[in-house]
Every structure is written in C-alpha cells, then in structure tokens.
Amino acid sequence: MADDPMLPRVARVRRRRRDGPQVWTLETEPEGGSLAAFAAGQFNMLTAFGVGEVPISVSGDPAEPGRLLHTIRAVGPVSTALTRLEAGAALGIRGPFGAGWPMSEAAGRDVVIVAGGLGLAPLRPALYRLLAERPRYGRIVLLYGTRGPEEILFRREIESWRRRLDIDIEVTVDHATAAWHGHVGVVTTLLARAGFDPHQALALVCGPEIMMRFAAAALGEAGVADEAIWLAVERNMKCGIGHCGHCQLGPVLVCRDGPVFRYDRLRTLLPVKEM
Amino acid sequence: MEDLTQIILGHPFFAGLDPEYGRIVCGCARNVRFEAGDYLFRAHAPANELYLLRHGRVALEVTAPERGTLTFQTLGAGEIVGLSWLIPPYRFSYDARALELVRAIAMDAACLRAKCEADHDLGYEMMKRFTPVLLRRLQATRLQILDVYGPHG
C-alpha cells in the first residue's frame, strides 16, 4: 500500500477477460512494483480516471500478489468504465483493505462455501488457498447459485476443480431451458445434499445480501452455529479505511471491520432497513 | 408391504412418523420407476399421486411460446413431487420429467386424502410435514422472482 492510503497508485491493465454477461476480470500491474500482499477476502478501491472510484474484491490468488485480479460487473458508470479498459490502459488502485476470510480458523474443519452470482469472485482467493493446502482441511464443499447457465462465473475453473475429486461442487441456477442438466433452484436447496459435518464446519458465504441471509438461516437449520458462519458484506464503502463513515452499519464500519464478518455480529443488523 | 412401510418411514419426508401411521399410509403406496425423459405427470392432469423421491432427479417444467421448455426447479432423492394432491381442484400446474432413472414411492392421492379425513390426527401429522415444504418452496420462489443475482441484486 502507498504511504498515504487515500492516494491511488497508477496501475496498467495487463489482460482483460470476459467471465460472463457484463462481467470482466482485469489483471493489473501497479506501476513501480506490487501492492502489499493481500489476504483472501480483502478488497481494493479501483479508480476509473475521470469517472470515479469503487470497491472491488480481489479475485486472484493471494500467493500470487504480482498477478492482481479483480472481477467486475458493469453496473454503474465506474464499474462500466473499468470493464471497458483495454490492455495497457491506466487505472488507480488503493488497498488492500479490510478483514478477509478466517482461513486460520478453517484448519482441521469441513469448509462449506456458499456463493451466489458474482459473490464467487471474493471467495475464489479462499478457494485457491484451501486447495493449495488441501490436507489441512476436512471436506471442502462449494455450493454455487446463479441466475442461469450462461452466467456461471469462472466456469472453466469450476470444471477443473471438479476434476480434482477432493472438493464437492454443486451448481444451481434460478431457471434454465431443458438444455441444462444441472440443478435448478435456489442455492440453499443444495445444502440438504451436501455432505459435511455441521457441528465442526466453517461456512463462508458471499453473494447478494438477501441470498446471504437465507443461506445463513439455512446453514443454521442444518446445524451450523452462527459463530461458524462468515459473510462478506459490501455496503457503501468509500474511503476503505474507516474514516468517512459512509459504510457504517450500526456499530461497525464495513470497510474497516469487514467486509468479512462473523454472522453473529451481523444477524440482527442486516434486516434493519433503516441502516 | 412391511418392506414398503420401512422404506416410507425411512424417507426424510416421513422421518419420525409413528410406525402405526406408517402402516396406514403404506396402504396408499406403491413403488414406481421412471426412465430418463419419462414424465411423472403433465400440467393440468389430475393430481392423482404424490411422489416420494428415492433416487434420481426430476425437473419441474413449464412451456412458454417462443421460449420452449423452462425448468424452474429440480428435485432429488429425499424430496417430494406433486404437492397439488393436497389442494383442490387437485390438478398439476406443471410438468414433472425424470432427468435420469428415478425411483420413487407413489402415493395414491385420493386414498391419502380419505385416510387424512378419517383420522384427523394423521391429517394434522401430514399437514405439519407438508406446510414446511410449501413454505420453503414459496420462499425459494420469492428469491427467484426477486432476481437477486441480477444487476441490482
């Protein structure tokens, strides 16, 4: 990180890859050397010069800090501008910020990853680490739900993980044509079929907030304690360092205390619409 | 018959059911098998049976002009198919198609309704098992309608 965490570093796009409808992964290279090493689940503030700045989770492998990946969906003006950057184009980067996934707590336990839509991107660094140190963990289960078959993120990588045989992967979509032979239905329906020990499992959940609330409830019904469920919440993050207060959620600042939180800390906060 | 009762009592839908009730509902049950591509039932057909899935997956489908067949849910072993057996006018609203070899227990809907009507304790027991399934599917449907993975999810 630069000495001043509010000062973006200039980076260049090394490669740009389409990972779904309106979703692109940018591989960037900061000028003057790599940023500080990042932990799985941390995010950077990316600037599209002349347009604005947005928080984007790092989607690459923490063991390869020189290969800085961010997976972005073109939704608003800034994210759209970022996804349009071609190789060689400049952008600004500040970070990494926030608290990541509790990888050390996962050791020796079953790990259940529940991802929804683009929420697979912030979880991919955790998956890289889990698979790189596979013997340290019990069963690893990835349950992924998305809108339709054509919107499955990192499809080739999911297929290659499936071939490893030491990770259980189930993918479901909200709706499909008859050409799709996989599961159809919400991601929580996959939990009943997932073979893991709920009493010693650690669950990592990322996706739209509504999906995460239902996933956390379903994990609870399956016997996973609130203290063993972790969610990534990305709300209104602006400064990234807990100064501006835009991302305040009751007693926490999402950018500083999160974006990854233990569920028991957020359970009563997430449904409050006044926050 | 005893084996079928044990199979029914071993199905998650009937987990914990009083064995006496197991014997009663078993009188409405039979083993069935569907090959991949077979229909368990078609839309608008009378809901004459309820299926307890034991093996294989089933797609619930609707057909829309110019869009073809759309799958909105798949169900697998341990789940039930054919909730319309319970609610008048007892007609299915969609197609249920086997995606692979499916083994199931088919329960005669009229028989089951008659037994529930004759013994309200059994009926209440059945309602306590069906209502959570209905609620889960309603909540899932709401999430699908909300399109949470869309651009504004």
Domain A9-97, CATH homologous superfamily name and number: Translation factors (2.40.30.10)
Q: How far apart are CA A220 and CA A210, in angstroms?
A: 16
Domain boundaries, chain B: 2-146
Distance from the A270 Cα atom to the nearest Cα atom in chain B, whole angstroms: 15
- Supply the ipTM of this predicted assembly: 0.86
Q: Report pTM.
A: 0.91
Q: What CATH code is assigned to A103-266?
A: 3.40.50.80
Tokens of A254: 């999402």
Of the candidate CATH numbers 3.40.50.2000, 3.40.50.360, 2.60.120.10, 3.10.450.50, the domain formed by B2-146 belongs to 2.60.120.10
Instruction: Tell me the residue type at A112.
Output: V
Query: Across the interface, do A178 and B147 touch by the CB < 8 Å criterion?
Result: no
Measured CA distances, B42 to A59, A67, B24, B82, B85 (Å): 44, 53, 28, 11, 13
Residues of B in contact with A22 (CB under 8 A): 151
Q: What is the pLDDT along chain A (275 residues), one digit of tens a residue?
A: 447 899 999 999 999 999 999 999 999 999 988 788 899 999 999 999 999 999 999 999 999 988 899 999 999 999 999 999 999 999 999 999 999 999 999 999 999 999 999 999 999 999 999 999 999 999 999 999 999 999 999 999 999 999 998 999 999 999 999 889 999 999 999 998 888 999 999 999 999 999 999 999 999 999 999 999 999 998 889 999 999 999 999 999 999 999 999 999 999 988 888 87
The pair phi, psi for residue A210, each rounded to 5°, is -60, -45
The answer to whether A111 touches A142, Cβ cutoff 8 Å, is no
Domain ranges of chain A: 9-97, 103-266
pLDDT value at position B1? 57
B67, B78, B143: residue with CB nearest A192:
B78
Distance CA A125, CA B70 (A): 34
Q: How far is A32 from chain B (nearest CA, A)?
A: 35
Query: Using an 8 Å Cβ cutoff, are A141 and B32 in contact?
Result: no
Tell how strand A9-20 and strand A90-97 pair up: antiparallel
Q: Distance (Å, rounded) from C-alpha A120 to C-alpha A128? A: 12
**CB contact (8 A) between residue A73 and residue B151:** yes
**Euclidean distance between CA atoms B47 and A255, whole angstroms:** 53
Distance from CA of B9 to the nearest CA of A (A): 18
Residues 6+ apart with CB under 8 A from A100: A38, A39, A40, A41, A42, A125, A126, A260
